[in-house]
Structure 1
């Protein structure tokens, strides 16, 4: 099946929510609000959405890739969405993309690198891209999550500039 990756529009909000619902119920995607300006979608030739991914600011210069859902497993939809998200993040001037995921192998195949350090350490020491007021953003979000006790998410990073990738 053929598909195109594009920016989401307001008419995509309900179909995005429908794509996310079973993944949220299964615990593979965290619950989140759906805003068209944060999402990219994969649209099949018949107009049906077959995948989505969100990009949300994490800290100064860093954007988080989340809510990745590919309805057509093994068809390259997830990889295409990640490539498009990386391109969008770079075009918007971000220095790095991070992902918290239970499927680190997929992201490693896309060029992401697992991080053994906390998000604030990554931002301050390795990429030097965050300011102190932004460092604890994700920790606050995680602290409020009802799934925190059983969380097995891995932090991965993708520096968007060659000089940063050399340090990763």
Structure 2
């Protein structure tokens, strides 16, 4: 664990070798009820949508981008290993995911989150969940929190 803010995190696209690490990282959040679990099989199928952050060659964070419509993607599975939060790793991951959305020419990027201030610091603003019917009908309809969702929707327009 690093405690210095001079930490150098490098983001890259995830690959098949990262599946076990992604699974463990996401599972830790899922057990706390703050992230949806992902099976290793799903991670393998969706590996191209993930980015990882490495510090000194060790994966310390991840995030993914999921297309919800022609002009909308969602940031999912954004998380860091304990000890690396608050050091800029999450912002680098978000920057990488925004770059992926730009490559795909998608102008809107959203997330459902409990970490509103983090996303606001990264250029997102709070919006009503209901403006994303693509999300509601693909994921929320099957979520156990569907009728009592306490996550906050955030949106960023990409230039």
* TM bin (shorter chain): 0.7 to 0.9
Aligned to 1:38: 49
Aligned to 1:166: none
**Structure 1 segments of 4 or more deviating over 4 A?**
none
Q: Which runs of 5+ in 1 are unaligned?
A: 121-134, 162-168
From 114, 119, 124, the equivalent of 2:126 is 114
User: Offset at 1:94?
Assistant: 0.6
From 1, 8, 30, the equivalent of 2:14 is 8
- 1:95/1:4 Cα in 2 relative to 1: closer, same or farther (>3 Å)? same
From 146, 149, 159, the equivalent of 1:148 is 146
Secondary structure, aligned partner of 2:106: coil
Q: Which runs of 5+ in 2 are unaligned?
A: 1-6
User: Offset at 1:139?
Assistant: 2.8
Q: Note the 1:154-165 alignment, pairs <5 A.
A: 154-161=152-159
Matches of 2:16 and 2:53 in 1, distance apart?
A: 15
- TM-score w.r.t. structure 2 length? 0.85
Deviations 1:95-130 (A, max 9, x none): 11011111111101100011135134xxxxxxxxxx
Contact 1:62 1:95 in 2 (8 A): yes
Matches of 2:77 and 2:36 in 1, distance apart?
A: 7
Matches of 1:77 and 1:136 in 2, distance apart?
A: 29
Matches of 1:18 and 1:116 in 2, distance apart?
A: 31
From 29, 32, 38, the equivalent of 1:26 is 32
Aligned to 2:3: none
